[in-house]
Structure 1
Amino acid sequence: MGITVYYCSITTTIGLDKNQREIINTLNGMQIPYKLLDLSADASLKDEMRAKVGDPKAMAPQIFNGDQYCGDYDAFFQAMEAKKIQQFFKVDNLQNKLTKE
């Protein structure tokens, strides 16, 4: 199914915009196909995202691989720091360009 990122194209903070761009840039850099679902364009997506996450207060960005929940930006950041981004995205057999030495 691939990666799905719930995000907001209309952000209220610079930090949120930066975090979302970091996730997208990482996916692009790793050549992982993904789909963006914009909560700003369709209000029903927020309810869908929160139901899938299991948290009625969850905020974008939220990341899924198919039906498997990967996490939010904080979990993404922790995986980057630990050099476990492939495990975070739940992808196998990828050449992780971010951890090459």
Structure 2
Amino acid sequence: MVVRVFVAIKKKQQDVVRFLEANKIEFQEVDITMSEEQRQWMYRNIPPEKKPAQGNPLPPQIFNDDRYCGDYDSFFESKESNTVFSFLGLKPRLASKTEP
């Protein structure tokens, strides 16, 4: 017998959280396994065209207040194209310049 642990979702969640922390973006982590109310809110507020054909959408799902931003794949694409602030509905931060 082999014990197998599938961790892709946890890694995705950690990836999002690490990015937000590294960029000093305030956020609230919501554990839907602990709150049926929060889980149902998440399901209700994902646009129908963004829901999977079968089953429920899996976390991480990202919102800015009540505005749906996207899922992990959308987050990852925005990270790769350097558009995460736009994806999150935030104003881009200007890079600070250091004086010589």
> Fold match, TM over 0.5?
yes
Give runs of aligned pairs for residues 49-64 of structure 1, distance below 5 A: 49-54=42-47, 55=51, 57-64=56-63
The residue type paired with residue 44 of structure 1 is: E
Query: Which protein shows a greater Rg?
Result: 2
Give the Å deviation of 1:43: 2.1
Equivalent pairs, count: 86
Residue number in structure 2 paired with 1:89? 88
Residue number in structure 2 paired with 1:75? 74
- Contact 2:75–2:84 (CA under 8 A) maintained in structure 1: yes
Question: Once superposed, which parts of structure 1, at least 4 consecutive aligned residues long, lie more than 3 Å away?
Answer: none
Identical residues among aligned pairs (%):
26
Give runs of aligned pairs for residues 6-45 of structure 1, distance below 5 A: 13-45=6-38
SS of match in other structure, 1:37: coil
Give the Å deviation of 1:95: 4.1
CA separation of 1:95/1:19 partners in 2, compared to 1, >3 Å: closer, same or farther?
Answer: farther
SS of match in other structure, 2:78: helix
Give the Å deviation of 1:94: 2.2
Normalising by structure 2, what TM-score?
Answer: 0.76
Normalising by structure 1, what TM-score?
Answer: 0.76
Residue number in structure 2 paired with 1:66? 65
Give the Å deviation of 1:78: 0.5
- Contact 1:63–1:71 (CA under 8 A) maintained in structure 2: yes
SS of match in other structure, 2:28: strand
Kindly report the root-mean-square deviation, in angstroms, between the aligned alpha carbons of the 2 structures. 2.0
Which structure has the higher relative contact order (CA within 8 Å, separation 6+)? 1
Give the Å deviation of 1:39: 0.8
What 5-or-longer segments of structure 1 have no aligned partner? 1-11
Higher percent of residues as strand: 1
